[in-house]
Amino acid sequence: MNANEATEQDEEATTDAADSSAASVGDAVVDDEAARELLAGLVSIPSPTGEERAAAERLVEFFEAHGREVWIDEVGNVRAPADDSVLLTSHVDTVPGEILVRVDDEGNLWGRGSVDATGPLAAMAVAAVRTGVSFVGVVGEETDSRGARFLVEDREAPDAVVNGEPSGWDGVTLGYRGFLAGTYSASTASGHTSRPDANAIQKAMTWWREVEGAFAADESGDGDDGETPVFEQVTAKPVEFDGGTAADGLSVGADVEAQFRIPPGETAAGIRETVEDALNCGDVDWREPIPPVMESPRTEVARAFRVAIRRAGGDPRLLRKTGTSDMNLYAEAWDCPMATYGPGDSDLDHAPNEHLALDEFDRAVGVLESVAADLQE
């Protein structure tokens, strides 16, 4: 069943405890103004991948101020364990890029990471303190996901996971494509450019044309335009191409960095086989793949989000994303229900105009509180 085909009736269970979202656990009172201050403070701290420490320390201060156990682990993750009925987790790192941090006249907070994913991160930190559930801020998501990889090796599975990425306050992401990366390398003997023999650069170009052809979109699919939806396709993308004559003048080399998105129903092994069948020269050095994930819309986590969003006056949207997230790794390692959620328009991910509406942030915090309270029952 596709995510947006869920038809079961949700019980609109409403309780005073859920509506108040358990806003006080011990010394855990965090009002909306304090929540926005945390968000703005984190966005104001540059945290590109590899430079997350200052932002991590700000999160530690926040949890300590509200009486929570918290520490930074050996890879840099912020760990605040508590009620494991649900783990709220998002990434601390952002992509590079400076955007002036400001709030405009329409109530939008501008700044790198406001959407991806400091907005979801701050919303989850606030909701975790207000409800007393577990929280982790992971590092390295924008590159090698080293924080999430360490986390799944270092702790047992919680009862449920909510991963933080922008979905819009009324959207819930249940599916992501997987990810496979590799480096093609080829070398041929050097020769005069007047000769017709193909050199390594030409062989690399021919190889890539074969690869693209092998993964060309199927035009007989069930998408709106008659093509197979992107989520269900393998996307092949060259991200770096380098080549030329060696320093000793005796050979010509070519290297291609390539990335492949893996839809549900496909495997990394199958993609590798297709890519290697197209080789006319050289070989490919593959990195560790990340498998695709597609969660059922019928899990207790998906249901809790639909109830919470409707309670807040929204019409829930169940999403499938064409990219990849840390949820893929959690789903591979942990046998528990999960979903991805967070405020913000994902079209603004990594963009020079990245900004987040503060009223959407407030709503997302409320939804996360409601979901956590529901899953704690």
Which entry of 52, 116, 141, 159 is annotated as an active-site residue?
A: 141
Of 261, 286, 311, the residue at which a domain comes to its end is 286
DSSP assignments along 209-256, one per residue: HHHHHHTPPPTTSSSTTSSPPGGGSPEEEEEEEEEEE-TTSSEEEEEE
Confidence of residue 16 (pLDDT cuts 50, 70, 90): very low
Residue 165 sits in the same domain as residue 55: yes
Q: What is the pLDDT of residue 195?
A: 86
Which entry of 93, 266, 326, 369 is annotated as an active-site residue?
A: 93
DSSP assignments along 13-79, one per residue: ---HHHHHTT--SSS----HHHHHHHHHHHHHS--BTT--HHHHHHHHHHHHHTT---EE-TTS-EE
Catalytic residue list contains 93: yes
Residue 130 sits in the same domain as residue 54: yes
Residue 39 sits in the same domain as residue 82: yes
Residue 132 sits in the same domain as residue 264: no
Confidence of residue 202 (pLDDT cuts 50, 70, 90): very high
Is 19's pLDDT higher than 90? no
Give, in order, the Cα–Cα distances in Å from 230 to each of 67, 192, 218, 236: 46, 43, 10, 12
Give, in order, the Cα–Cα distances in Å from 258 to each of 211, 238, 252, 280: 10, 4, 20, 16
pLDDT, tens digit, 9 for 90 and up, residues 75-130: 999 999 999 999 999 999 999 999 999 999 999 999 999 999 999 999 999 999 99
pLDDT, tens digit, 9 for 90 and up, residues 245-295: 999 999 999 999 999 999 999 999 999 999 999 998 999 999 999 999 999
Is 368's pLDDT higher than 50? yes
Q: What is the pLDDT of residue 193?
A: 87
Q: What is the pLDDT of residue 226?
A: 60
Q: What is the pLDDT of residue 192?
A: 85
Q: What is the pTM of this model?
A: 0.87
Q: What is the pLDDT of residue 27?
A: 52
Q: How far apart are CA 35 and CA 263, in angstroms?
A: 37
Domain count, the chain: 2
Q: What is the pLDDT of residue 29?
A: 81
Q: What CATH number is given to the structural domain containing 83? A: 3.40.630.10
Nearest to 346 by CA among 224, 164, 223, 179: 164
Residue 120 sits in the same domain as residue 265: no
Residue 255 sits in the same domain as residue 317: no
Q: What CATH number is given to the structural domain containing 205? A: 3.30.70.360
Residue 38 sits in the same domain as residue 139: yes
Residue 213 sits in the same domain as residue 168: no
Is 2's pLDDT higher than 80? no
Burial (CB count within 10 angstroms: exposed 0-12, middle 13-18, buried 19+), residue 114: buried
Q: What is the pLDDT of residue 227?
A: 77
Of 235, 267, 286, the residue at which a domain comes to its end is 286
Q: Provide, rounded to the nearest whole percent, the portion of the chain with pLDDT above 90.
A: 86
Residue 160 sits in the same domain as residue 56: yes
| Mean of pLDDT values over 307-319 | 98
Domain region containing 168: 3-176+292-376
Of 286, 318, 352, the residue at which a domain comes to its end is 286
**Residue 140 near residue 93, CB atoms below 8 Å:** yes
- Asked, as a colleague might, if the bond just before 117 is cis with ω within 30 of 0, I would say yes
Residue 164 sits in the same domain as residue 296: yes
Give, in order, the Cα–Cα distances in Å from 158 to each of 172, 175, 303, 335, 356: 19, 20, 18, 9, 30
Residue 127 sits in the same domain as residue 170: yes
Q: Output 222 or 161, whichever has higher pLDDT.
A: 161
Nearest to 148 by CA among 159, 129, 161: 161
Q: Output 134 or 218, whichever has higher pLDDT.
A: 134
Residue 195 sits in the same domain as residue 331: no
